[in-house]
Structure formats: C-alpha cells, structure tokens
C-alpha cells in the first residue's frame, strides 16, 4: 500500500481519553504559547493555497481571499477555487482510490487517524491561532475546536477496530454465520465554518477510517483552516486519492458533487435550507448510478434553556451567557431562547442583563474579549435584521456597543417574546437572546418544544421531579441538566439532533461509523 508507515499498531492503544480542554488564558503554557503562535501565523498570512487532488497540489487561476473578520483588510490567505473540471477530477481520483483503500484492514486504516491526531496535537497552538485570525474565534474556542478534532481522530480509530472485527452470529444446523461491514465508496464531505477543524476532521475521519474515500469541500469562510487537513493527512502518510480537498463556490460545485453518480455518501453539517436541498437532490437517481445515496446531515437549532423556580443564580448567569454569546452565538448548539418561569423572572433577568453589560467585545486575539466579530458581512447584515426584529417583537433590555471596524454585531437581549414570534422560531446564528416569560414549568416545557428544531437544550432546577420530567419530555438530541447547552465532548456526549436539526445521527457516538458502511452477512456450510 502507498504511503508512509502510519505508526504504532492500534493494538497498543490505550483506552480512549478526551483531549484536555482549554486550561485558561492565565495558564502559564497558554499565556506563553498563544501570543507566539498568533505572531507565527501572522507572519504567514497572504499565502496561496492550492487544491489537493489524487495526492497532488493543483492550482487554479481563480482564487478567493479569506480575511480576518475583525479586520477585513487583513488577508489570511488566497485559496484556489475548484470548478466543475476540478470537482470531477477529485471524484474520479476518489473512485479509483476506493478500489484499494476499501480492502485495507480496518485496524490499519485506524493507524492513519492515530498518526494524524499526533500531528495535530503537536501543532495545537498554531492550528488554534489560525482560527483566531480566520474565524474570529477566542483563544478557548479555537483551542477546544482543535482538541475536539483530535478526539474524533482518536475515538473513530478505536471504534473502527471494534467494528472491524467480524461478528460470529452462531450456527444453525450445519451452517456457520458471520457479520461484517464494508465501506460505501466515495464520500463527499461538505463542512461548515463555525467548527472548521473539529467538524471537518470528524466527518472526514469517519469516512476514511470506515474505508471510504473523501472529496472534501470546506466552507469558503474557513478554507485556509480546511487546508490544514491536507497538511495533517499528508504528514500521516495517507495514500493518494483517499483524501481530496476542493474548496470552491457552492453555486458552482455544490450541486455537482451531490448529484454525481460516483458518490455513494454525503456528509453535511450546516444550515437547514442547504441540508434539505442536499437530501432532496441526493434522492434523485441517475441512470448510471450504482448506489442509493446515504446522507449524514446535521443542521441547525433553536435551542432553549429553561429556568425553574429553584437554581444557583451565579452558575446560571455564567452558563447562560456562555451558551448564548460564546463564539458570538455562532454555534448550532447555542442558546437563543431563555425561558424563565414567572416566579423567578423578576429576581433573575435584571442580574443577567447587568452581567452581560460587563462583557468586553473586541478582536478574538485579545484574550480579554468575551465576544468577537461574526464571520462575514453577510452574517453581519442578517443578524442586524434580527436585532431590529427583536425591538419590534419585544423589548430590548440590552444592546452593546461594538468596534467600528470589522464584522461586529451587538450583544442583544430582548424580552416579551412568545412562541408566536419569529424570534422564537427562526435560527439567528448570532448573539441575539430572546427571553420568554412562562407562567410555570408546564408552559416552559411546552414552549421549549414549540419549534421545528430538536438539537440541544438545558434546564436549571433543584426540583428532581422537574429534571426527570425534562429527561422524558424536553425533546432534543442533547439535553443538559444544570449546565450550559454547548460544549459536547466526543464519546461521553455524542452530538446531534432530530426533527429539522438532522437525521438522527450522533457525531462522536458508538453508532456514527455505521452510517459510513454497509453491513454484510455470510453463511457457510
């Protein structure tokens, strides 16, 4: 098989353990390493990044500038753009590579992921610094994104070793039976910008270790970070054609990749509108298509936190602010609805607003900035429309000042919102928190379930009966009791929702890789 020796045998691996999350801006290692990493990255800004097809770098005449959202005059990198011709080259390369990659032993495929994790771990602060500048991610948000990507690599490697062992189903009469999994074929991975390393790495790693080959289309807003996967998988020695990197406009190559008869699986994370379009197009079958396409689709949320009459106020203020405004509310798991019961409302909401007023807003490279810019001008424009809507549908309790340069929007808190309002139903994907006053816990739970989405949710309460009821009836994919509704960890908190939040898959969970393979049963006399 082509490629370098991928490293130690997976049989020598210790049990999976989550990578350590961000230890804090004042931690000696962090305080020393992060400024240096940002300076190191800034010295490399403006480079041109090629496509990567069949193990080779491919340049194109058309490039896209990726900029720092805190300072759009600062070009992070110039990214070559794939057209239909390059997309087809990548699909052909992936299809050809799949004929050999599918027969590589599962445990051997897993070693490549372990090696990739080692490479990423060695570059932790540098990789995070790229996100600070290209994505406007705070130190902690960027660091944890890399840690999650490493977790996906390590966890899926171990899962494939488990799933790659044929299962003896026992005998019937004189017949023996066993059960195993085979790869689906060519996987198109379409990734978001908000977790540009973790989610991209997770989807690609799952496909690769399952034996599929990948055509990876990163988001246009995070294509430089997307190129890091090229660098990491190259250093890990992944054979040519197994991983192909084709950044390009969705309007040009998005439908082409989804529609291709060479593709057997599409893994997507992003908006509901795009996800539903992919599902619809993938259902169409071309005459020369040999597969019924599988779509692994994770979409958005309209997540709620419920506050009951009894809770720890300081902890709730900390966790609500982090859930709503961490990374500018640009997480599919972010809290956008705070539902407070009537008895707690007047004593709690003013304290929350006062705490929000103390949060600093500025460039993400400043470790004192709690909130930074949103991703680009289009996001800025869209979110500002929801800020205006908040003032129309409810009452603004707080709207922060923001820097004059960069793609900033104000931290916004509004009250007087009910399920009848658009602000309670539509995903905003920005720092706009709608506060809803429910008469009691029953109504709070009813309102929490009143949207088309079912991704994350949280409840803060010291009432065990209410907590038990929430477990049964607060219908979301990830429910948190007495903690924030963001920050799921691989393996221990598999992530994903249902309804219009996704198709019921759980990234980082024990059944995720099954979506990337087909089961086979063999009987022998």
Q: Which residues are catalytic?
A: 298, 332
Distance (Å, whole) CA 133 – CA 68: 5
Residue 253 carries which DSSP code?
A: I
- 485-520 b/e (C-beta count within 10 Å ≥ 16 → b): bbbbbbbeebbbbebbbbbbbbbbbeebbbbbbeee
Q: 434, 420 in Cβ contact below 8 A?
A: no
The label of the residue with tokens 């799933």 reads: 163
Q: Find residue 75's DSSP bridge partners.
A: 67
For residues 199, 201, 203 and 206, what is the CA-based torsion angle, rounded to 10 degrees?
-140
Q: Give how far the C-alpha of residue 271 lies from the chain's centroid of Cα atoms, to the nearest Å.
A: 11
Q: Give how far the C-alpha of residue 524 lies from the chain's centroid of Cα atoms, to the nearest Å.
A: 43
Distance (Å, whole) CA 252 – CA 330: 26
Secondary structure of residue 48 in the 3-state scheme? strand
Q: 285, 292 in Cβ contact below 8 A?
A: yes
Question: In which element (H, E) is residue 108 found?
Answer: helix 106-122
For residues 215, 219, 224 and 226, what is the CA-based torsion angle, rounded to 10 degrees?
-40
Which of 192, 216, 194, 196 minimizes the C-alpha distance to 206?
A: 216
Burial tier of 271 (Cβ tally within 10 Å: 0-12, 13-18, 19+):
middle
Distance (Å, whole) CA 343 – CA 373: 36
Distance (Å, whole) CA 176 – CA 166: 13
Secondary structure of residue 496 in the 3-state scheme? coil
Q: 95, 187 in Cβ contact below 8 A?
A: no
Q: Give how far the C-alpha of residue 212 lies from the chain's centroid of Cα atoms, to the nearest Å.
A: 20
For residues 415, 419, 420 and 422, what is the CA-based torsion angle, rounded to 10 degrees?
70
């Amino acid at each position: 098989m082509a490629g370098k020796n991928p490293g130690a045998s997976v049989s020598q691996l210790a049990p999976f353990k989550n990578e350590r999350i961000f230890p804090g801006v004042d931690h000696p290692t962090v305080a020393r390493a992060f400024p240096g990493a940002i300076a190191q990255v800034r010295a490399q800004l403006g480079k041109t990044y090629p496509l990567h097809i069949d193990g080779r770098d491919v340049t194109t005449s058309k490039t896209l500038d990726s900029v720092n959202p805190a300072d759009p005059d600062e070009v992070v990198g110039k990214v070559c753009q794939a057209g239909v011709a390059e997309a087809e080259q990548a699909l052909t390369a992936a299809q050809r590579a799949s004929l050999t990659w599918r027969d590589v032993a599962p445990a051997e495929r897993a070693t490549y992921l372990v090696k990739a994790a080692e490479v990423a771990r060695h570059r932790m602060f540098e990789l995070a610094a790229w996100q600070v500048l290209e994505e406007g991610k705070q130190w902690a948000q960027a660091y944890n994104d890399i840690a999650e990507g490493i977790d996906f690599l390590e966890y899926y490697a171990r899962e494939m070793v488990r799933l790659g062992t044929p299962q003896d189903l026992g005998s019937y009469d004189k017949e023996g039976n066993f059960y195993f999994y085979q790869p689906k074929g060519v996987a198109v991975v379409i990734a978001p910008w908000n977790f540009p390393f973790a989610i991209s790495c997770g989807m690609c790693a799952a496909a690769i270790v399952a034996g599929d080959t990948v055509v990876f289309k990163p988001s246009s807003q995070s294509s430089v970070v997307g190129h890091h996967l090229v660098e990491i998988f190259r250093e890990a020695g992944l054979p040519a054609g197994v991983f192909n990197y084709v950044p390009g406009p969705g309007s040009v190559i998005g439908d082409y990749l989804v529609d291709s008869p060479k593709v057997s699986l599409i893994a997507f994370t992003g908006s509901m509108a795009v996800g539903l379009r992919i599902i619809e197009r993938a259902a169409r079958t071309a005459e020369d298509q040999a597969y019924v396409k599988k779509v692994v689709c994770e979409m958005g949320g309209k997540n709620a936190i419920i506050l009951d009459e009894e809770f720890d106020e300081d902890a709730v203020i900390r966790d609500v602010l982090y859930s709503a405004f961490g990374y500018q509310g640009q997480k599919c798991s972010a809290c956008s609805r705070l539902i407070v019961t009537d008895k707690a409302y007047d004593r709690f909401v003013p304290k929350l607003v006062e705490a929000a007023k103390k949060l600093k807003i500025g460039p993400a490279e400043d470790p004192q900035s709690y909130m930074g810019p949103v991703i680009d001008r289009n996001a800025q424009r869209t979110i500002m429309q929801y800020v205006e809507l908040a003032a129309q549908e409810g009452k603004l309790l707080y709207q922060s000042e923001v820097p004059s340069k960069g793609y900033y929007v104000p931290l916004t808190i509004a009250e007087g919102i009910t399920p009848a309002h658009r602000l309670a139903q539509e995903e905003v994907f920005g720092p706009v928190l709608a506060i809803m006053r429910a008469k009691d816990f029953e109504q709070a739970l009813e309102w929490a379930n009143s949207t088309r989405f079912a991704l994350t949710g949280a409840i803060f309460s010291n009432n065990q009966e209410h907590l038990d009821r929430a477990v049964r009836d607060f219908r979301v994919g990830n429910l948190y009791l007495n903690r924030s509704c963001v920050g799921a960890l691989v393996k221990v908190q598999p992530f994903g929702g249902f309804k219009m939040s996704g198709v019921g898959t759980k990234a980082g969970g024990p059944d995720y890789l099954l979506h990337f393979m087909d089961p086979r049963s063999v009987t022998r006399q």
